[in-house]
Amino acid sequence: MARPALAIDERVGKDGQRELRLSGDWTLTALPAPVAALQATLREHAARRPVWDLTDVARLDSAGAVLLWQAWGRRWPEALTATAEQRAILERAAALPPSAEFSRGRGTRAQQRLDWLSWPLIVVGTLLFKAVRNLREVVTLIGQLVLDLGYLFAHPRDIPWREFSATLYKSGALALPVTALVGFLIGIVLSYLSSLQLKTFGADIYIVNLLGISIIRELGPVIVAVLVAGRSGSAMTAQIGVMRVTEEIDALATMGISRTLRLVLPKVLALAVTMPLLVVWCAAAGIIGGMVSANVEMGLAYGFFIDTLPRVVPVANVWIGIGKGFLFGFLIALIACHFGLKVRPNTESLSARTTSSVVTAITVVIIVDAIFAVLTRGVGMPV
């Protein structure tokens, strides 16, 4: 059976008082597609100040309530006949902010132009407020981790060695093959493309300088950070998020077990320890790949490459790469755990937070790497 369409019936009583009786379904699915005409009709009726009768309305939802509230000029009419349920829905519509509109095309051209000029500011402001809120929550999480470290120093028996070693194995040992493969291929590609240019100027021997500085100082840490953020960071967010969905974190709280001590701290410390080792591993694979490519493309002897590399690449670059690895690992694990704890108990939130975790971690890594490049521009560069 089809539901009744919305209808407006205006009557004039014996005393000359206008009565506006609404009927049918005043819901989002029943409203006409261009709602502007219906809004104009309701405003015309509201200007005559009739008695509004909603008792014949079969269904009323938030969309219909907002439509009526706007037609009334955002104030209650002088005479209204409605059920208690309808009044409750209308009260919720009245509590909405005044900016709620049905049509973005309403208003004068000046207002529309103002909307087009203001929406970028609104988008940027919204993103800025979200970033500030996430930053505040991350700082709070860091403070909690510091308190947990203080507790573990006082109670060394409570150190979660099993969680720490598990993260060390999953994020470190299992990541060795893929980081070595990617580093090796990056070294080959970089050496091959650089050799084409260096041959033109007869500067073949400078391939050692180029590969050593770029891979050890920059590419190694960044490549490992991106791989770990996509591989281990997403896994950490998903693991904690699933525990949120299945209410395991609430169970830990019920048993008096700190979620940060058991879930967050082991992951952050393990990844901070693992990342510098992965950076050295990836950089070594990249140097080997570049050395092989330089030998094939330019005939550069392996012995010459190995002998020249320590002389043209100061050891400070190795420490810079290791320092970047430590900081990147700390940040990636911290961001992953932060977004994991923000997962709501539904699968849609789990997927959204996991995506946000990976994107945010990679963005933060690139920003921090740029800051590192500026602060250490005069360190480790050959004279």
Q: For the chain, what percent of residues have pLDDT higher than 90? A: 30
Mean pLDDT estimate for the chain? 84
347-372: pLDDT as tens digits: 788 888 999 999 999 999 999 999 98
pLDDT exceeds 80 at position 182: yes
Confidence at residue 116, expressed as pLDDT on a 0 to 100 scale: 61
CA 33 centroid distance within chain: 35
Confidence at residue 100, expressed as pLDDT on a 0 to 100 scale: 47
**What is the mean predicted confidence (pLDDT) over 317-327?**
92
**What is the mean predicted confidence (pLDDT) over 328-332?**
94
The residue ranking higher by pLDDT, 127 or 278, is 278
Confidence at residue 229, expressed as pLDDT on a 0 to 100 scale: 93
Q: Give the integer Cα–Cα distance in Å for 102 and 35.
A: 8
**What is the mean predicted confidence (pLDDT) over 229-234?**
92
Confidence at residue 105, expressed as pLDDT on a 0 to 100 scale: 44
pLDDT exceeds 80 at position 318: yes
Structural contact between residues 42 and 67, judged by C-beta atoms closer than 8 angstroms: yes
At residue 115 the predicted structure's pLDDT band, cuts being 50, 70 and 90, is low
Distances from the Cα of 252 to the Cα of 61, 178, 259, angstroms: 40, 35, 7
**What is the mean predicted confidence (pLDDT) over 45-49?**
81
pLDDT exceeds 60 at position 345: yes
61 phi and psi angles, rounded to 5 deg: -115, -170
Which helix or strand (DSSP H or E) is residue 33 part of?
none
Distances from the Cα of 78 to the Cα of 20, 70, 159, 347, angstroms: 13, 15, 69, 47
Out of 18-22, 99-103, 214-218, the most confident range is 214-218
At residue 104 the predicted structure's pLDDT band, cuts being 50, 70 and 90, is very low
pLDDT exceeds 50 at position 153: yes
Q: Give the integer Cα–Cα distance in Å for 65 and 72.
A: 11
At the fourth CATH level, which superfamily is domain 7-94?
STAS domain (3.30.750.24)
Confidence at residue 186, expressed as pLDDT on a 0 to 100 scale: 92
Kindly list the domain boundaries of the chain, sorted by start residue. 7-94, 160-375
At residue 106 the predicted structure's pLDDT band, cuts being 50, 70 and 90, is very low
Q: Give the integer Cα–Cα distance in Å for 56 and 107.
A: 32
pLDDT exceeds 80 at position 2: no
The single-letter DSSP state of residue 5 is P
Q: For the chain, what percent of residues have pLDDT higher than 70? A: 91
Confidence at residue 184, expressed as pLDDT on a 0 to 100 scale: 94
53 phi and psi angles, rounded to 5 deg: -120, 115
pLDDT exceeds 60 at position 80: yes
Task: Point out the least confidently predicted range of 48-57, 112-121, 207-216, 243-252.
Answer: 112-121
Confidence at residue 309, expressed as pLDDT on a 0 to 100 scale: 87
Task: Point out the least confidently predicted range of 2-6, 63-67, 72-76, 171-175.
Answer: 2-6
**What is the mean predicted confidence (pLDDT) over 299-319?**
87
